[in-house]
Homo-oligomer: A and B are copies of this chain.
């Protein structure tokens, strides 16, 4: 399925989870508004998962939820490793732990001896040398990469070699991994600079508007 759509499916699921006890049915336009997409897009996204709503009653919340989860989660483990426990890593740990009980971060890795063997948010920090060992033993398939840029490529390759098939990469550098490994890049600096660009442009537009209407 198309990548963007999968991302939105997770949003639908998250929203539905909160609705689950409040209502039994929901219309596409209602759910769409809560998530911030158009109703047409939501319906199109749902098409491939095969769950059908009924006209005049919409989707059954529980049923759609189950159907979404079945499609989103595979048969695998749903455990995650965090590589790099720096500033960002230490923030991501409680962030994900608090939000998603289904996806547990069960192992972290760092080179700092101060951090090794400590337990943060219920997650043990291992020495980076033990990356392959622990990932293989726990059969972890997903890793969050929050290491400095210079070590990112190496860490990614080692993780992939140990069996990881999905990477959430915060390092601003293209990773080099086998094609079957899925990589999602999150570049926060890029995002902020992009916002800045359009924010500045809006200032110009506003000023232009001002002068023309003046």
* Nearest chain B CB to A209 CB, angstrom units: 9
Contact B11 A190 (CB under 8 A): yes
- A84 contacts the other chain (CB 8 A): no
Shortest Cβ distance from residue A86 to the other chain B in the assembled complex, whole angstroms: 9
**Residues of chain B within 8 A of A25, CB atoms compared:** none
Shortest Cβ distance from residue A192 to the other chain B in the assembled complex, whole angstroms:
6
- A202 near B165 (CB under 8 angstroms)? yes
Q: Are A73 and B182 in contact (CB under 8 A)?
A: no
Partner pick for A188 among B96, B190, B192, CB 8 A cutoff: B96
Could you say how many copies of this chain the assembly holds? 2
Q: Mark A167-186, 1 if CB is under 8 A from B, else 0.
A: 11000111000001110101
| A50-58, A74-82, A109-117, A129-137: which lies at the interface | A74-82
Q: Of residues 59 to 117 in A, which have CB atoms within 8 Å of B's CB atoms?
A: 72-76, 78, 80, 87-88, 90-92, 94-96, 99-100, 103
Task: Please tell me if the beta carbons of A80 and B192 are within 8 angstroms of each other in the complex.
Answer: yes
Scan residues 140-179 of chain A and give those whose CB is less than 8 A from a CB of chain B: 141-142, 144, 164-168, 172-174
Q: Which residues of B contact A168 (CB under 8 A)?
A: 191-192, 195
Q: Which residue from chain B places its CB closest to the CB of A11 in the assembled complex? A: B190
* B164 and A199 within 8 A (CB): yes
Residues of B within 8 A of A7 (CB): 187, 190-191, 194
Q: Assess whether B204 is in contact with A75, with CB atoms less than 8 Å apart.
A: yes
CB of A201 closer than 8 Å to a CB of B: yes
| Contacting pair A196 B11 (CB below 8 A) | no
- The residue in chain B whose Cβ has the minimal distance to the Cβ of A163 is B203
Q: How far is the CA of A126 from the CA of B99 in the complex (A)?
A: 27
Pick the contact of A196 from B78, B174, B191, B203 — CB < 8 Å?
B78
A189 to B144, CA, bound (A): 12
Q: Which residues of B contact A80 (CB under 8 A)?
A: 192, 196
A203 pairs with B99, CB closer than 8 A: no
